[in-house]
Structure 1
Amino acid sequence: MKHIPSKAWLLPVALLTGCAFDAGEGFAVLEPSVEAAYTPLSRRNAGDGYQALATDFQLRVDAGAVSLGSIDLQASSGGGGSTTFDPSSPPPGYTLCHGGHCHREDGALVDYADVEAELNGGGGSSTVTVAKLPVDAELDLLSPAVRDLTCEPACELGKTSLSRGRWSVTGLRMTGRVRDGRVPARFAGALPFRFTAAMTGDEATPVAVLTGDLDVPSDRENEPRVTLGLKLELTPALFDAVDWSAVTVGADGVVDLDAPANKTVRAALLEKVAALSPTAEVSRGSR
C-alpha cells in the first residue's frame, strides 16, 4: 500500500474550509456612531459667548438640541454603479443563494444574472439603501456626545460601496440671545429668541432631509472592520440668513421664530438647515 504524506491529504480539506469561510463572511462590518454639535467659530468671536453674523448682528446660543430619526447608508446601483450582487448576502426578498440561483420568498428560483439585473433596476442609475441606522433620539448640541448605533438589517455588508448618508431630521430647537453690533444699534439691548421645529402632517414629514458624502468600499481589497463616525455640525453661519431687524417681538419680550408674524424669517432659517451637510470619519482595521 502506497504511503500518502501526512500533509498531502490536508490540502483539499484546507481549501474547502477556506472557501466555506469566505462564502459565509461579509465584505465589511460597520461600527457606526453619531454626534451632533453647535460649534462656535473663533473668527466670529464677539465676546461674552456671542458670535458675529454676516448681518453685523451678534448671537449667542444658550440651549439647543436636534432630533434624528434614522440615517440611511446608500450605494449607487445600475448605470455602472458600484453595488454588486453577492451570493453570500442575499438581497431583500431572497432567503438563500447557491448553485447559480437564489430562492425567492415566494418559492421561485431566480438565476444570479436575473437577481443582479433586478438590483440594478434594469440598467438605470439609482441609489439603494444598504443599511439603516436608527437613532430616534434628541441629541444635545451644546454638550455633544458620541452615540453608538446599530444597523438594520445588519452591520455586515456584502460587496458594495457606500456613497452617501441620508439623514432624517425630525426636530430642532434652539434658544439664545441676539444683539446688534452696529453703532448706532438697530435695536437696544439683547433680545431673547426661541426656535422650534418638529415633524408635521399625517405622514410625519421631517424638518429636513440631509445628505452627506461617504466613501466606504466593502470588498476584499480593504480591511473589513469599518469604524464610521457620523457627525452633524451646526455653526453660527446658520443664522446669517435671519434679518433680526425685521423680526416681531412677542408680548413676553421674546422673539418667537415660530410665530406667524415671523414666518418669513423662519422659512429662511429652515432653508439654511436643509443645506447642512453631515460629515463622516472613517477608519479601517482587521477583525
Structure 2
Amino acid sequence: MKLTIIGCTGSFAGPDSPASCYLVSGEDAGGRIWRVLLDMGNGALGVLQRHIDLHQIDAVLVSHLHPDHCIDLAGLHVAVKWDPRGWDAPRIPLWAPEGADRYLASTHGLPAGPGMHGEFDFHAWRPERPVRIGPFTVTPYLVEHPTPEPYALRIDYDGVMGPSTLAYSGDTDACEGLVRAARDADVFLCEAAYHEGRDDALRGIHLTGRRAGEAARDAGARKLLLTHLPVWNSPTRAVEEAEAVFAGPIGVAEPAYTYRVVRRTPPRTGRAGGAAAAGAAGQGAG
C-alpha cells in the first residue's frame, strides 16, 4: 500500500502543512485502486485536492473527535451537498467514534437529523472489531487521550502490492492499546507532540519522541515515522529521543511525500538492539 502525507502538523495547521490527514491507497486483486483517508484536520481539504479528486474517496477513518483531526469533514460535506454539477458518487463511508454525526452537524448549526447523513454514511467504531474496506482491514484500538473514544488504527493490506501493515497512533500517550495496534507493523505512523524535559508534567495526552520510540520497540514495529509535531517542536530532537530507545529506521512525516509500505523482513523481536531493514521506502508525491 501507499501512504501519502496530506497534513502532519500537530494540533493546528502550520505554515507548511495542514493538520492531521493521511491518504492510504492500494490496489485490490481485481485491479481497482482504493483510497482511504485517515483523519481530516484543518487545512486538509484543500491540499487533498492536489492529490485526488474528491469523488475518489472510498472512506474516511477518524481517530477521534478533535478539530485538528476531523474539522475539514465539515467542508467535505459542503463539497458533496452543494456542488452544482451534482455528486455522482455514493455517500462517503465514514468510521468514527460514537456521536460523530452530531459533532459534525453542530459545526454548521444543523439538527442531528438529518444533519450530514445525506453526505456521509456514518459508522461507529467498536473497539478491536475489524472493518473491511476493499483490500484493507482496519482495526481500532482504544488509546489514552482526553476525549471520548480515542483510537489508534491498524490497517492491514492484502492486495496485489503484497501484504503489509500500517499502524496509526491517532493522538495518545503511552498505553497498551497503542502497542497492540502497532504489533509487527511495517510502518508505525506515530505522533510525537511533546518533548522530554519540557512537557514531563503533561501526561495522558500526547507522546514524546522517546515514548513513541518505546511503543515502536515494544510493538516490534519495523519502521517508525513520527508525525503530529507542532510548529514549536524540533524534528531533530524528536528523532534523537526516539533513537535512544528504538533501533529501527526512524523518519519524520513530510507533507506531500508518498511512502510505499512494504513487508521486507520477518517481524522484529520487539526489543531494541540490532538494526532492522526499512519497512517503507519514500518517494516524492507526484
- Give the TM-score band, short-chain normalised: under 0.3
Report 1 or 2 for greater relative contact order, CA contacts < 8 Å, sequence distance ≥ 6.
1
| Greater strand share, structure number | 1
Q: Which has the larger radius of gyration?
A: 1
- State the TM-score, normalized to the length of structure 1: 0.21
